[in-house]
Amino acid sequence: MGRAFEYRKATKLKRWGHMARTFTKIGKQIAIAVKAGGPEPENNPHLRAIIQTAKRENMPNANIERAIKNALGKDQKDFKEVTYEGYGPHGIAIFVDAATDNTTRTVANVRAVFNKFSGNLGTQGSLSFLFDQKCVFTFKKKDGLNMDDLILEFIDFGVDDEYDEDEESGEITIYGEPTSFSDIQKHLEGMGLEVTGAEFTRIPNDLKDVTPEQRETINKMVDLLEDDDDVQNVYTNMKPEEA
């Protein structure tokens, strides 16, 4: 099992908060995708991928259709994807991915949380060396699918040679280079595989040990960041707690 899978499984991270917040955040992603590539999923790979993730998170079809319709409205806000990064307490690196219609508001809210925990918000790109950005695809495994052959087909797309298989759900998860997102998605769909989730993530390449007390403080900071409606995801290089 590769580093990415070990980290994600060990942390048992929830990408979203409670259901209402989940749908709000996915709705923003849908709005961004519709603005960029149109409202028809069959002609908009990015939107199609978000819809797959929305269904995986049990977002009702009516909510998905409403979000697409709202994105076409004249009064729809324009959301921008932004990233904030810096150091939290005890030297832990923190990445914050956000989608916002008001960057002034969002950066002020994020900075306030960093300040509350005696952290420091850095310049964009200052901590990128501490994390690898990946695109992640989850799909249903078909009978007779040879994973070694499949991975070989995806070499040109920068897909990791190790994958994760969930025997209970019958799903496979693979990681690739973010720039190959559309190519990987197109290839999976062309093979007749049912994609059940597609997203981007950050994997820390240098995990840092913390004490139980330090972990509690950092988790409080992460929770506070995730409570902000503009925040989509929060990543840290804190070493996962052992089960």
Residue 15 has pLDDT above 60, yes or no: no
Q: Tokens 């921008």 sit at which residue? A: 80
pLDDT tens digits, residue range 170-223?
A: 999 999 999 999 899 999 999 999 998 888 899 998 899 999 999 999 999 999
The domains found in the chain, sorted by start residue, are 3-71 (1.10.10.200)
User: Among 1-5, 46-50, 78-82, 161-165, which is the least confidently predicted range?
Assistant: 1-5
189 vs 81: CA distance, rounded Å: 26
Q: For the range 56-62, what are the long-range contacts, defined as Cβ-Cβ under 8 Å and sequence gap of 24 or more?
A: 56/138, 56/196, 56/197, 57/16, 57/22, 57/26, 58/19, 59/22, 59/23, 59/26
115 vs 89: CA distance, rounded Å: 10
- Do 54 and 34 touch, CB atoms closer than 8 A? no
Structure token digits, residue 227: 């409570």
- What is the distance between the terminal CA atoms of the chain, rounded to a whole angstrom? 17
CB burial string 156-168: b at 16+ within 10 A, e below? ebbbbeebbeeee
pLDDT tens digits, residue range 82-109?
A: 999 999 999 999 999 999 999 999 999 9
pLDDT tens digits, residue range 108-156?
A: 999 999 999 999 999 988 898 999 999 999 999 988 899 999 989 898 8
Q: Rounded to an integer, what is the distance from CA 224 to the centroid of its chain?
A: 18
Q: What is the layout of strands, in order, in the sheet containing 80-87?
A: 120-121, 80-87, 93-100, 231-236
